[in-house]
Structure 1
Amino acid sequence: MSFQLPEYHHPDFTQEKFVNAPDVKYEAADMDGVAPDNYHSTSMYPEYFKINGKWVLAEESRMDSSVVLCDDGHLEVVENRNIKKGDKVILGRTEKCEEGIYMHCHGFEEEGGQLEDQFVFRQGRSRETSYARDYDNLFELLRHEKEYGNIVWVMGPAFSFDADARAAMQALIDNGYAHGLMAGNALATHDLEGALLHTALGQDIYTQVSQPNGHYNHLDVINKVRRSGSIPQFIKDYDIDNGIIYSCVKNHVPMVLTGSIRDDGPMPEVIASAYEGQGAMRGLVKKSTCVICLATMLHTIATGNMTPSFRVMPDGTIRPVYLYTVDADEFVVNKLLDRGSLCATTVVTNVQDFITIVAKGLKVID
């Protein structure tokens, strides 16, 4: 059976609460980077605003931003730091039509699909959870998204420490299961270290045995990449033919590498400014329909905050955005849920094992 996207159910705007709701209010910003008092802050869910008697969807959303009414009637979701003086910023702190604002949380749910007030065990997600069905669902989803969607991977450096995990992720990229990669300096550094020297942080990626003077290896690789001037040029200069970063370059998969205060080097492509990095990350997320976050708490939380639960497609249809977070630590996956990303599917497991299972399930490796 082929994968089927759930149908989106629009609000019934003929209901009394919508008909009788007032038009939404707005106020012009009086300075750059500052929202007016009582600004409305967005969520990851579809939100509608009543303008001149008509309910209008803000088509691109993210958490914790403001909504600007443009001159053409289009609604743009803008981080408060990017508000410009004169922007007409939507006002209101309620979300059930009282102020002309409606947040639609259940658009993808089938009517009568959930029983309320039902007492059940094991509804949390922990290391005791069985994830067999989650894997099956993910295989079906990724096959669909390869052809019809946009898959973005958000990765910590854990993959680079194991040869099998590197090979599994490379195979997924080579077979079209990645349309974007977001990571930090560490993933790129240690993956390229593995490609050139077969180590990551000086530890052999095949045997996990630390090599003599291996703590220099990642620094040497950074130095070589900086001398080459870019990651693609380094790959050419040193005849690199394996790994995650190599596969992204070979297959023209866009990468956003964002910096950290603790970075060595960093690599030339790493974006040093946190806000420039956030903007570049959002540029990839805006295209995504499936986002998988793997063993990187801060990148995961950042991505979760900028990923909406829905996407308006070019033909006007609305579909869900699937967000997965995978980590060996229950605290990390629950942290994303605590931040409000309620639409995330969480998996508590070792990410090296996870990516190998996914690659085998999709039959890109034996």
Structure 2
Amino acid sequence: MEFKLPKYNHPKFDEEIFLSAPNAEYKIVEKDGVAPDNYHAMSIFPEYFKINGEWILAEETRMDCVPRINFEGKVEIVEFRALRVGDKVIVGRTEDASEGIYLHTSGFEKEVQDKDVFAFRGGRSRETSQTMDYDKLYELLKHEKENGYVVWVMGPAAVFSEGARNSLTKLINSGYVDAFLGGNAVATHDLEAGIYHTALGQDIYTQESIRNGHYCHLDLLNKARKYGSVQKLIEEENISSGLIQSCYKNNVPVVLGGSIRDDGPLPIVIGDVYQAQDEMRKHIRKATTVICMATQLHTIATGNMTPSFRVVDGKVRPLYFYTIDTSEFAVNKLRDRGSLEVITMISNAQDFLQRLADNLE
């Protein structure tokens, strides 16, 4: 099946509701980091603001952020903590154009087909067939390799298996990964596997615990901190495979956000959560597809900063968001957080990665 981006349907701004709408109002920020009363908060959908009689699309949006009018009259989306005295923040809490603000939820609406009112298995669960999901994902990733920016977000389960770790190496070396986001654990256990062939002291192929295996990840962290950088660790310990080594070899950016329970951590882990958030957003701003697996915390964090669309070369296209986990609760949690444009797949990380690598070779 050949992949094709769906056509975006722009709002019909020649209709009376838009022509008669007032300009969006704004208020001036009076204290750094504090939005004015009645500020407008952004969603994941395309939002338009009427500025000087013209409807303008905020080309980047992030949930729980606010729209700011810059010196050029364009709309920027910023976090509350980024607001500065004198900024012009758009105010108004309607989204129907009556206050110069319009939220467009039907830009990529599919044709409505006749369906039975009653039908079995209308939702997504572990019983849902995923054959078509995989086929679509293969074609999407082939398209994105040449035309997009694919961000991967992974937990340590992605490197606990030799097969999964080798599959990740293949996917990165083949150009299907443009940026990697995660935490200290996934990188630590990937590098541990590169030196000791273990993850948390278990052989990544046989799954057998080795003698004093509980020291392996601590020894790895200690080595990394002794060398002063992950790059030096890879060179000195001759690590030749795995997630982190492949990212470094292929110049794929790695962003690791710290946690209060981290061991070590690795020298590249960002301990300041707001700095980590900013670094993650640099890649989410470019993302056209996001694939998250086996990390509920980082998946929800990434989902909250990911819109449902992206503007590329002046054209509006969907941003595809996949979440993969063995738990139905984990994959459906994003829907509760407002990230509605998400494809959920129930699978363990090892099977998912190996299936992708085998079919994308």
Q: Same fold (TM over 0.5)?
A: yes
**Percent of residue pairs identical:** 57
SS of 1:323's partner is strand
SS state at 1:249 partner: helix
Matched, 1:52 2:49: no
User: Quick one: which amino acid aligns to residue 135 of structure 1?
Assistant: Y
| 2:65 maps to amino acid | S
Which residues of 2 match residues 46-85 of structure 1 at below 5 A? 46-85=46-85
Q: 1:140 to 1:29 in 2, by over 3 A?
A: same
1:6-52 C-alpha deviation (Å, 9 max, x unpaired): 11111000111111111111000101000001100001111000111
- The reply on whether 1:22 has 2:7 as its aligned counterpart is no
Structure 2 counterpart SS, 1:216:
helix
TM alignment of 1:244-283, pairs within 5 A: 244-283=243-282
Q: Give the TM-score normalised by the residue count of structure 2.
A: 0.98
Task: Indicate the residue corresponding to 1:145 in structure 2.
Answer: 144
Report how many aligned residue pairs link the two structures.
361
| CA 64–163 in structure 1, closer or farther in 2 if over 3 Å, else same | same
Residue 184 of structure 2 corresponds to: 185
Amino acid aligned to 1:31 = K
2:342 to 317, 341, 344: 344
Residues 22, 288 of structure 1: alpha-carbon distance in 2 compared, 3 angstrom cutoff = same
User: Taking structure 1 as reference, are residues 52 and 116 closer, same or farther at Cα in structure 2, changes over 3 Å only?
Assistant: farther
Pair 1:162-2:169 in alignment = no
Question: How far 1:115 sits from its partner (Å)?
Answer: 5.2
Residue 12, structure 1, aligned to residue 12, structure 2: yes
AA matched with 1:55 = W
Give the counterpart letter for 2:134 in structure 1.
Y
The CA distance in 1 between the partners of 2:20 and 2:74, in whole Å, is: 22
Instruction: Give the whole-Å Cα distance in 1 for the aligned partners of 2:308 and 2:113.
Output: 19
> Which residue identity does 2:84 align to in structure 1?
K
2-structure distance, mates of 1:35, 1:159? 40
Residue correspondence of structure 1 range 293-304 to structure 2 within 5 A: 293-304=292-303
Distance 2:322 2:118 in 1: 26
The alignment status of 1:228 with 2:227, answered yes or no, reads yes
In 2, Cα distance between the equivalents of 1:353 and 1:336? 22
Q: Which string of whole-angstrom CA distances, capped at 9 and with x for unpartnered residues, describes residues 26-80 of structure 1?
A: 0001010000011000011110001111100111111010000112111100011
Match status 1:354 vs 2:344: no
Tell me, in whole angstroms, the C-alpha distance in 2 between the residues paired with 1:103 and 1:230: 46
- One-letter code of the match for 2:304? N
Residue type of the alignment partner of 2:163:
D
With over 3 angstroms needed to count, the CA separation of the structure-2 counterparts of 1:114 and 1:94, relative to structure 1, is farther
Cα drift, residue 116 of structure 1: 8.3
Q: Structure 2: 5+ residue runs without aligned partners?
A: none
Change (3 A) 1:306 1:217: same
Match of 2:329 among 328, 331, 334: 331
Structure 2 Cα separation of the partners of residues 347 and 175 of structure 1: 23
Quote the Cα distance in structure 1 between the aligned partners of 2:291 and 2:117: 30
Partner amino acid for 1:62? R
Query: Helix, strand or coil for the counterpart of 2:279?
Result: helix
SS at structure 2 position matched to 1:102: strand
Residues 86-97 of structure 1 correspond to what in structure 2 (within 5 A)? Answer: 86-97=86-97
1:320 aligned to which of 314, 318, 321: 318
> After superposition, what is the alpha-carbon deviation per residue over 1:244-292, rounded to whole angstroms, capped at 9, x for unaligned?
1110011010010110000001000000011100000000111110000
CA shift for structure 1 position 121: 2.6
State the Cα deviation string for residues 304-326 of structure 1 (Å, max 9, x = none): 0101111111x211111100000
Q: CA RMSD for the aligned pairs?
A: 1.1
Q: Secondary structure at the match of 2:270?
A: coil
Task: Sort the Cα spacing of 1:52 and 1:114 in 2 relative to 1 into closer, same or farther, 3 A.
Answer: farther
Give CA deviations for 1:81-135 in whole Å, capped at 9, x if unaligned. 111111100001111112111111111124x435589443312111111111000
Provide the secondary structure at the position in 2 that maps to 1:67.
strand
Shift of 1:189: 0.3
